[in-house]
Amino acid sequence: MGKLSMTVGQAIVKFLDNQYVSLDGKEEKFVDGIFTIFGHGIVCGLGQALDEDPHGLKVYQGRNEQGMAHVAAGFAKQNNRRRIIACASSIGPGAANMVTAVADATANNVPLLVFTGDTFATRQPDPVLQQIEQFHDASITTSDAFRPVSRYWDRVHRPEQLMTALLNAMRVLTDPEKAGGVCITLPQDVQGETFAFPDYFFKKRVHRIVRTVPDELELNEAIQLIQSKKKPLVIVGGGARYSEAGEEIIKFCETFNIPLAETQSGKSVIPSSHPLNLGGVGVTGNSAANSIASEADLVIGVGTRLTDFTTGSKELFRNPDVDFVLINVSRYHAEKLDALPVVADAKAGIMAIASDLVKANYKSAYTTQIEVAKKGWEKEMDFLTSTSYGEGYESLIKAKEAGIEEEFIKATGGSITQTAAIGIIRKHIEEDAIVVGASGSLPGDLQRMWTTDVKDSYHMEYGYSCMGYEIAATLGAKLAEPDRACYAMVGDGSFMMLHSELATALQENKKITILLFDNCGFGCINNLQMGNGIGSLATMFRYRDEETKKQNGNLIVTDFAMIGRGYGMTTYTARTAEELIHALNEAKNTDNSVLIDIKVLPKSMTDGYDSWWHVGIGDSQTNDKIKEAYENRMRHLDKARMY
pLDDT tens by residue, 196-238: 999 999 999 999 999 999 999 999 999 999 999 999 999 999 9
Q: Where in the chain is the domain with CATH 3.40.50.1220?
A: 216-374
pLDDT at 393 over 80: no
Would you put residue 257 in left (φ > 0), alpha (ψ -120 to 50) or beta?
A: left
pLDDT at 239 over 50: yes
* CATH class of the structural domain 387-599: alpha beta
pLDDT at 395 over 90: no
Cβ-based neighbours of 8, under 8 Å, separated by 6 or more: 45, 156, 159, 162, 186, 190, 191, 192, 193, 195
> Residue range 386-397: average pLDDT?
57
Confidence of residue 549 (pLDDT cuts 50, 70, 90): confident
For residues 280 and 273, what is the distance between their CA atoms, to the nearest angstrom?
13
Q: Count how many Cα atoms sit within 13 Å of the Cα of residue 276 in the half-sphere of its side chain.
A: 22
- For residues 424 and 580, is the Cβ–Cβ distance under 8 A? yes
- For residues 198 and 2, is the Cβ–Cβ distance under 8 A? yes
Going by C-alpha positions, the residue among 563, 592, 564, 561 that lies closest to residue 414 is: 561
Q: What is the CATH number of domain 3-208?
A: 3.40.50.970
Going by C-alpha positions, the residue among 305, 306, 329 that lies closest to residue 317 is: 306
CA angle 117, 119, 121 (to 5 degrees): 110
Can you give the pLDDT at residue 398? 55
Can you give the pLDDT at residue 550? 86
For residues 289 and 449, what is the distance between their CA atoms, to the nearest angstrom?
12
For residues 272 and 267, what is the distance between their CA atoms, to the nearest angstrom?
8
pLDDT in tens, 316-332: 999 999 999 999 999 99
Packing angle, helices 346-359 and 216-227, rounded to 10: 60
Q: Where in the chain is the domain with CATH 3.40.50.970?
A: 3-208, 387-599
3-state helix/strand/coil string of 518-533: ECCECHHHHHHHHHCC
At residue 557, φ and ψ (nearest 5 deg) are -105, 125
pLDDT in tens, 249-289: 999 999 999 999 999 999 999 999 999 999 999 999 999 99
Confidence of residue 172 (pLDDT cuts 50, 70, 90): very high
Range of weakest confidence among 397-401, 505-509, 522-526, 603-607: 397-401
* CATH class of the structural domain 216-374: alpha beta
For residues 401 and 473, what is the distance between their CA atoms, to the nearest angstrom?
38
